[in-house]
Structures are given as C-alpha cells and as structure tokens.
Amino acid sequence: MKIFTISSLVSVMALSLSCAAPTNDKKNTESIIPKNIIMIVGDGMGPAYTTAYRYFNDDPNTEIVEETVFDRNLVGMSSTYPAKVSGYVTDSAASATALSSGIKTYNSAIGVDVNEKPVETVLEWAKIQGKKTAVVVTSQINHATPASYLSHNKSRRNYNEIADSYIDNGIKADLYFGGGWDYFIREDRDLVAQFKQKGFHYIDDYSTLDKLPKNQPILGLFAKQGLPAALDDDNKHRLSALTKAATAQLENINGYFMLVEASQIDWGGHGNDIAASMAEMDDLAKTMEFLEQYVQLHPDTLVVLTADHSTGGFTIGANGEYAWRPEVLKTMKNSTEFIAKQFVNIEVTKKSASELLNFTLTDQEVLQLQKEKVNANEALISFEALSNAEQSKMRKPNVARIIRNTILHMIDKRTNTGWTSSGHTAVDVPVFAFGKESARFNGKLDNTEIAKKIFTLLGKK
C-alpha cells in the first residue's frame, strides 16, 4: 500500500487547486463586474433622517416598529470630510467629487482637485467602457451633485458654465432627468435646442415618461430650477417615477451607470423643515423599494446609496423631552413654503389655518400666526418708506418667510424636533447596498473609497 506523507498530500492538494483555478484573468474580472451600477446620493441624509423615517413610517396599530428599506440594506458608514484646506465640514460639491472620483477636494469644487485640475469620474469612465450613463435628480441637473459626475469647474456657483459644459465638453450621458429650464433655455443660449440637434428627445412633463422612444438619448427638464417639493408636486413620488422610467430606457447589452440623487432632503434640512424632509425621504424609500424589485429581476445590478453629508443637525427629540411625535407630519398635503405663501393673501383664521396645514391648530397657535403676519406686514411697510440708500443697508422683510418660520416652529414643537444648524454637519453618514458585489461596501468607509470601489467594478486598475 502506498503511503502519503502530510507534505506530499499538501503538494497534491495545491496542484489540484492550481489546475482547477481559472487561468483567464480577464474572464475572472468580468465575472465580478456588475452589468449595471446605480449610485444613489441622499443629499443631506445623515443617520437621524433614516432613523426618523422608520418612526415616520411606523404603523401605530402594531406593537413593533416596522423595518424600512433603509434598515434592511444598511451595510456600513462613511466619513465625509473634504480636503484639509476646507476643514472637517464638507459641502455638496466637495463630497460629490469625492464620491464621483475618489479624490478629496475643497468646498465648492466640481470634479476638480485642490489645484483646480479636472479629475476623472466614475460616470466618465463608465461611458468610456461602452456603458450607457444617466443622471436622475430632483434638483436642477447642473446642481452640485450631478455636476460633479458630469463636469469640471472651480465653483459650483458657475451654473451657466456648468450647463454649457454638458454640450461644449462632450455629451457624457444618455439620459438626464431633473430641473433646469433657467440654465438650459436662456436668452444667450438655448441648450435644449442644441441637445435636440445632437439627437436627444426632449420632454418637460411627467406624463410623457411612459412614451419615451427607445434607442434615443433623452433630456427631461421638468422645472425652472429644482423640481417642486415632494409635498407640492403632482407626483409626490416623482424620483421613483423618474428612476423607473430611466432604468427601462437604459437597459442594453453593455449595461449602464446611473446617478440618482434625492436632492431635496438637503433643502428640507437647510430650512429646518422636518415635514419637507420626511416627504423627500418617503420618495427616496419608494425609489429604493422599486430598485429592490428591479435587482431581483436583474441580479447583475449593483445599487449603492449614501449621503454626501448631513444637514441641519436634525435631532429626533428635543428640549429634554423623551419623545418624538411624527403623526402630524403624515397629514400634511403641501409644503410649509406653499402654505405660507397662501397666508400672505388670505386671512389667517382657525379654519383657514387648519385646512391648509391639515391639522387643527390651537387658539394660541392661530393668534401667534396672526401676530407674526401683522408684524411682518408692518415691517415691510416701514422698509418701503425708507430711501433707496437706507434700503440698501437692510434686508427687505419677506412676509411669506416670516410666516413660514412661525409654522416651522409650531411643527417642531408638536413633533418635538430639534435642529442645531441651518447648514451642514460633519457626522458620518450611512451606506446602503444590495445586488451584485454589494458586500464590497460593508463596514466603515471614507467617501473616496466608494468611488474607488466603483472604479474597480467598472474594470479600472
């Protein structure tokens, strides 16, 4: 009988494994590359927002607090700090550039490094690899986040320059959905007409989303700047509808890379408007739920969601009270901005206030609204009586803004919501992922690592 030593057995096993291992490195690489990659940014969506959405979405008739799409797809956390020159608190441009390119840069930078030199983005690289590309956002399509994937500019505030670059620097996407008439249809230049000349099909109404021509690039602009707030839009789940239409349009043999941004979570945070933020979170949740189903049917698709930063220093519970009461937020049918504008032109009564806010105000709350409106109008009259020189030294009173602030304080008090800032904060943000190769995004990451991992999955070494 032949006797094998341990060393000879190990040698045989190693040889066997070596013979069994594929020798085609290219084939190995291709096997891990998702056909489709969908990168989602919840602008301003710090961890308090996803937690709050769980309670906002909770069924009060059950004992448990139901799991959300965010809960079941949470895989890690990400740091967000910009380049040292800008300190620890990022803006959307620097963070989006980190997420798109893997490079830290200064606040306001669009697809450039700290020396204002262009850096390659994952969207640009995907296009070079033969994939279709797209951006789907609820801001204008030349806003900080989409611009950081599509363009290169020293400042996010150069909106017209960024819009022009979408034509002048080569068309980099096969589909654009968002707002932006003010920047793409201007007196000095009609970029929409130029996109049409390049073969794009243009739409400006949601009703045509199910009538898009196949095998033709699409430009969809649906508002002057950002889309209407979710609470005010004809379709309160417009991001979900746009994403669904985009996936159907983009499917092709080579796959696609798509950036999706829930842009206005951030706008709600800047305005310290919890009602607006939860409505935007609900739109994003419906988008994620659709994509869960999409990945089941298209398992070669990767979905990654994170935030560029957190906004507003949002707190679930405030003033030392151990409570958060989101119920009132579920009843609102319009944004506080829309409601405040109505109050400028109508009398503030208990009936009108309760009808617009869709919850019953106390007598004290009605009196407070009435008082603030009177004070705001008196301040405006006093301002308008001043000379032009005196007016130039002051900010013109905005009656709607003053009324809105009063409404926001009322909602915060009812819900026991707290805010520490009207700007960004430096807290780490959650990372969510599902689909092919989603495990790569597990654990603690820096935002630059997300881009680097996507570059790798797109075949870049």
Q: Kindly report the pTM of this predicted structure.
A: 0.92
* pLDDT (tens digit per residue) in 179-227: 999 999 999 999 999 999 999 999 999 999 999 999 899 999 999 999 9
Within 13 Å and on the Cβ side, how many CA atoms surround 53?
23
| 228-239 average pLDDT score | 97
Per-residue model confidence (pLDDT) at position 33: 84
Count of C-beta atoms within a 10 Å radius of residue 448: 19
Residue reference for tokens 């689909």: 435
Give pLDDT, residue 189.
98
When pLDDT is averaged across residues 439-454 and rounded to a whole number, the result is 98
Active-site residue identified among 86, 92, 101, 108: 92
Question: What pLDDT was estimated at residue 361?
Answer: 93
Q: 3-state SS string over the chain?
A: CCCCCHHHHHHHHHHHHHHHCCCCHHHHHHHHCCCEEEEEEECCCCHHHHHHHHHHCCCCCCCCCCCCHHHHHEEEEEECCCCHHHCCCCCHHHHHHHHHHCCCCCCCCECECCCCCECCCHHHHHHHCCCEEEEEEEEECCCHHHHHHHCCECCCCCHHHHHHHHHHCCCCCCEEEEECHHHHECCCCEHHHHHHHCCCEEECCHHHHHHCCCCCCEEEECCCCCCCCCCCCCCCCHHHHHHHHHHHHHCCCCCEEEEEEECHHHHHHHCCCHHHHHHHHHHHHHHHHHHHHHHHHCCCEEEEEECCCEECCCEECCCCCCCCCCHHHHHCCCCHHHHHHHHHHCCCCHHHHHHHHCCCCCHHHHHHHHHHHHHHHHHHHHHHCCCHHHHCCCCCCCHHHHHHHHHHHHHHHHHCEECCCCCEECCCEEEEEEECCHHHHCEEEEHHHHHHHHHHHCCCC
**Residue 2: pLDDT over 50:** no
pLDDT at residue 30, as a whole number: 57
Give the tens place of pLDDT for each residue, 108-127.
999 999 999 999 999 999 99
Q: Which of 308, 305, 310, 291 is nearest to 74 (CA)?
A: 305
Q: What are the residues facing 201 on neighbouring strands?
A: 218
- Does position 105 have pLDDT exceeding 80, yes or no? yes
pLDDT of residue 151 exceeding 90, the answer is yes
Tens-digit pLDDT profile for residues 332-356: 999 999 999 999 999 999 999 999 9
Residue 63 structure tokens: 């004992």
Mean pLDDT of 135-164: 98
Mean predicted confidence (pLDDT) in 80-94: 98
Q: pLDDT class for 20, splitting at 50, 70, 90?
A: very low
Q: Which residues of 401-435 are buried (b: 16+ CB within 10 A; e: fewer)?
A: ebbbbbbbebbbebbbbbbeeeebbebbbbbbbbb
Cα–Cα dist 450/100, whole Å: 8
Q: What is the pLDDT of residue 335?
A: 96
Q: Which two tokens stand for residue 164?
A: 């022009």
Percentage with pLDDT > 90 across the chain: 92
Q: Quick check: 142 pLDDT over 70?
A: yes
Strand partners, 185: 190
What pLDDT shows up at residue 28?
A: 53
Average pLDDT of every residue of the chain: 93
Domains assigned to the chain: 34-315+430-457 (3.40.720.10), 323-416 (1.10.60)
pLDDT value for 10:
38
Residue 148 falls in the annotated catalytic set? no
Q: Is the pLDDT of residue 19 over 80?
A: no
In the predicted structure, residue 245 carries a pLDDT above the cut 80? yes
Confidence of residue 32 (pLDDT cuts 50, 70, 90): confident
Residue 461's pLDDT is what? 82
- Is residue 7 over pLDDT 70? no
- Please report which confidence band the pLDDT of residue 31 belongs to, taking 50, 70 and 90 as the band edges: low
Q: What is the pLDDT of residues 277-311, one digit of tens each?
A: 999 999 999 999 999 999 999 999 999 999 999 99
Q: Please report the pLDDT score of residue 319 as a whole number.
A: 93
